Amino acid sequence: MNRRHLLLSSAALSSLALSAHAANPTAPVVNKPEVLKGAENTARAQPPLPYAQSALAPVIGSTTVGLHYGKHHKKYFEELAKLLPAATLETDSLESIVRAATPGPIANNAGQAWNHNFYWRSIAPKSGGKPPQAVRVALEESFGSVDAFNKEFTKTASEHFGSGWAWLCKNQQNGKLVVVGTHDAASPLTMASLKPLLVVDVWEHAYYKDYSNEREKYVTAVVDKLLNWRFVEANLAT
């Protein structure tokens, strides 16, 4: 397996996180610094989109965003509200719930709620193109070039079997960037060594109305025109 590319299920992520914690009891599994802040990381309510519903067109159409954000994403918050006490929703961040949850409905719904929050900020209108210098240098150090990263990321996202997510992460142990694929609601949040920097959703509801079953066309268009490099830059800096 390419050292820069991991494909992990929810169970595998939990197992790896617990193994790392068992080997080093001080390893931060639950109490890692949180990636999203404020309304983007609350469990009590779905945050607003950071742009208009039609702003991602023509790469991602308004109808797709409306269904994706207004139906699928919203449903995870609604289900989470049924599963957790009101006090927990008010006091606990979404990330802390994801990291503490054992496999099951809470982990699934909290994970999907957070993954979507992160996805909407990983893409932005009139984006893509050349990354800022700090991001470009980090990509070159880890992948050889920005083009090499684009190819590896696109391949991972396009060839991912079934539903899931393609991530760019920073390995906190060695400082290198890695491409990670996860299934279903899984994410790198539960890995002690990985910090997510951006994600692309490869569940069919993210692209099917615009691209039918041609996932690679969707991923290529997102990488070329929507990747929010400023969001990556901010995540690298914290």
When pLDDT is averaged across residues 34-41 and rounded to a whole number, the result is: 83
- Asked if residue 171 has pLDDT above 80, the reply is yes
Greater pLDDT, 27 or 108: 108
- Asked if residue 13 has pLDDT above 50, the reply is no
Q: What is the pLDDT of residue 207?
A: 97
* Mean pLDDT, the chain, whole residue set: 88
| Residue with token string 């992948």 | 143
Q: What is the pLDDT of residue 9?
A: 43
When pLDDT is averaged across residues 84-96 and rounded to a whole number, the result is: 92
- Asked if residue 18 has pLDDT above 80, the reply is no
Q: What is the pLDDT of residue 191?
A: 83
| b/e sequence 119-155, b meaning 16+ C-beta within 10 Å | bbbbbbbebbeebeeebbebbeebbeebeebbebbbb
Look up the pTM and report it. Answer: 0.87
